[in-house]
Structure 1
Amino acid sequence: MQVKMVQHAVGQGGLFSGELRTQRTSWRWVYDCGSNQRDALRREIKITASCGDIDMLFLSHLDSDHVSGVDELLCQVRVREVVLPYLNESMVLAIMAREASSGALSGMFIEATNDLASWFGSRGVETITFLGGSDDDGGEGPILPIDLSDDGDEDGYVPEWTQPPRLMTELVADPNRVQGRSDRVAAMQQVVAGATIQLMTPKGAINWALIPYVHLPGTKLMRAFERALEDEFGTPLDKKAIMANAKDPHVRDKLRDCYDALWLDHNLVTMTLYCGPLASKRGKVSLSRYHFHDSWEQAIGGWMLTGDACWFPRGTEPVRRIISIEN
């Protein structure tokens, strides 16, 4: 088994790609695709796309920068599955409010979030998977019920969620408000918090996993935001209508005012991703900014991608459980 991981230089933002190869097959994943330095992002997207199809694209969060970057990536390469943090209509409106407050809210972001299945499906994505998360009180660690195989690395493997996905019922576009919907619609599914990706062979799991963890806002914070929405837009609150009309300057002004209820210096919903071994083993490791470089024998390490997570002590408990897996 050989694993290659690259942290792409895109400036303020992030783009990471990884590939796992055995004698029979390969599997590629990407984490994040956004930056405020557009030239650097375009350059690295082109490099990433030139390496072939992407099996899974993990997005730490949705905002206008990410939607724009993902749109560019999907125009150049096929992505089979997109993994997003769990979102409901209140969370999407909170993201819109933050974008509006900073002047970054884009028409493409509004269109995408009003019909994610159609937006991603029209760009070739087959499946959107929403990962459940934990609020500010933390949560449990990863669910890893599958034993590792000592001799399965050379067989073909299949990536599998360790918990069965179920159909997604939130964020389903209102057919009365969506016009000109694409015929290609991505399937939407949800997995519970703690679900991970393990690479399965006929003999067991390969010693490599992708373990995402979603940080969700606290219930008190979201309730305060919903009260602000009710004060601005009245009751009963039609969240789908607000999302659909977010291009209206008056609606954006109201959303901007609502953001005061949950002002944050980091993203409201974000996803951390660990990619690495589950058991400590030695192997050939190389680390360099160049394509040709030496390697040395040592314990194989993983990579923790944090996105825009807020690293306060309680919220890192589940992540520390991930880190402690190896020892």
Structure 2
Amino acid sequence: MIEGEFKFYPVGQGCFYGGSIKKNEEEFVIVYDCGTVSSRKFLLDSITKFKRIFKKIDLLMISHFDEDHVNGLSELLTGITCEKVIIPYYSPITRLTLLSNYDSSDEYISFLKDPVSYLLNTDKFEINEVLIIQNEDDNNSDFKAPEPKSPTENSNFENLKSAFDLIQKEEDKDFKSKVKIQEGKDYVFSEKAKYYSLPFKISIYNEFWEFIFYLKNFGNPTEIINFQREIEELLNKTKDNKLSSLFDKTFIPNIKNIYRKHINGDLNYSSLSVFHGPIANENLNRIRVSIRNSFHFPINRRKSGTLLTGDSFLKKDEDYYPFYNYYSSYYIDKTLLFQVPHHGSWNNWRFFPNELSNIPCYILNYGHKRKKHPNKYVLRDLLTNSIFKNVLHNHQYQEIKYKIRIRSY
């Protein structure tokens, strides 16, 4: 038997999701995001509980760089080994805009200045590898995640390979060259950093469990172009005329003024979405799912995956259809739990009818009694217009814990 046990931790306005996939004494530990802008007590308590159970992390996935999704990374990664971290790529200019949204701590500024160096070159972290993901082009209907091959008869539970036995992709050299240009000529590549373009997937345990990654192509919004023009003028006030020098608290007031001048509201930042779950095949006899404090039921093996979306935007056609086309009806039909993007925000949700209506369970992460999240009309839509009408709430006073068990003949 392989058993996946996962939890949306009670951290408030943010996200901290983690758990493990087990076979006998073997355990593959995952985390998706780790941050909050609610009281940090909730996040620190959750990290402490997580580290009491798990002594290592195999796969840490970061959806995007907003503070409420990353500001617990230092506490999470200190004193624990981490095999791989997967992050989306954002240019230095884009990372500078994030300094405008928060009263930034030194830790957060250091992360935004150079996320790869922050993760790999910090003495207190033990990280083996960082994988950086981009989406070069998703504007055609043929851009899809590869559907898996069923494990062979010889790929059984009793003869598991090591984890990460299938990263079926070569490093993207063109993407790596682009990063060099955008980060600046003095940017130093680490041997522990790898650069990949979508489509990208990871399979583990002889292809019995898969992770499918999606990232909307951020493009080059007009607001960013105008923001960048004034940022280039601000470079004249630095000692070395380097963008990296602007990641300093002394420049944050100037950056905030430029942001307010050229960017009306929040930018439509791209988020790394992840589908993960068992691969249904002839060797699986039964999949059973139990969700703590909610419901308990055996379920069709096609409904056994989790789709994590971070703060993805799905409202507009140009955002929704690339997302849906990439995962296609194959993965959407396999999804059991769907994380409603951006804490149930009106601006991120595509109201029904749409192809997401037959997902059995929707997860809302938000800060308890927060005014805007979740939006009441989004919640009403989920409760009245979805087929199964199951919505689970995750905030600082409510965790969501569930198990997925799969058995072989």
- TM-score (norm: length of structure 2): 0.65
Tell me the matched-pair count: 308
CA distances 1:86-135 after superposition (whole Å, capped 9, x unpaired): 22223222333xxx2x3433322222233333321221112111111267
Note the aligned Cα RMSD (angstroms). 3.4
Are the structure 2 counterparts of residues 288 and 264 from structure 1 closer, same or farther at C-alpha, using a change threshold of 3 Å?
A: same
Matches of 2:267 and 2:195, distance apart in 1: 24
Q: Is the 8 A contact 1:232 1:258 kept in 2?
A: no
Out of 198, 204, 208, the residue aligned to residue 199 of structure 1 is 204
Q: How does 1:169-318 map to 2 (within 5 A)?
A: 169=177, 170=179, 187-199=192-204, 201=206, 205-206=207-208, 208-219=209-220, 221=221, 223-234=222-233, 241-250=242-251, 252-258=253-259, 260-265=261-266, 268-279=269-280, 282-289=286-293, 296-300=297-301, 301-312=304-315, 313-318=317-322
Identity level (%): 19
Q: Is the 8 A contact 2:21 2:29 kept in 1?
A: yes
Q: How does 1:67-106 map to 2 (within 5 A)?
A: 67-96=70-99, 100=100, 102-106=101-105
Q: Is the 8 A contact 2:9 2:46 kept in 1?
A: yes
Out of 39, 47, 50, the residue aligned to residue 49 of structure 2 is 47
Q: How does 1:149-188 map to 2 (within 5 A)?
A: 149-150=152-153, 151-157=155-161, 158-159=163-164, 160-166=166-172, 168-169=176-177, 170=179, 187-188=192-193
Match of 1:181? Answer: none
Tell me the SS of whatever aligns to 1:119.
helix
Quote the offset at 1:260 in angstroms: 4.3
Are the structure 2 counterparts of residues 232 and 94 from structure 1 closer, same or farther at C-alpha, using a change threshold of 3 Å?
A: closer
Quote the offset at 1:61 in angstroms: 0.6
Match of 1:320? Answer: 324
Q: Is the 8 A contact 2:230 2:258 kept in 1?
A: no
What are structure 2's unaligned runs of at least 5 residues? 334-409
Please tell me the residue identity of whatever aligns with 1:279.
A
Matches of 1:64 and 1:125, distance apart in 2: 21
Are the structure 2 counterparts of residues 130 and 146 from structure 1 closer, same or farther at C-alpha, using a change threshold of 3 Å?
A: farther
Are the structure 2 counterparts of residues 162 and 317 from structure 1 closer, same or farther at C-alpha, using a change threshold of 3 Å?
A: farther
What are structure 1's unaligned runs of at least 5 residues? 179-184
Tell me the SS of whatever aligns to 1:286.
strand
- TM-score (norm: length of structure 1): 0.80
Matches of 2:255 and 2:296, distance apart in 1: 56
Quote the offset at 1:161 in angstroms: 2.1
Quote the offset at 1:83 in angstroms: 0.6
Please tell me the residue identity of whatever aligns with 2:323.
V
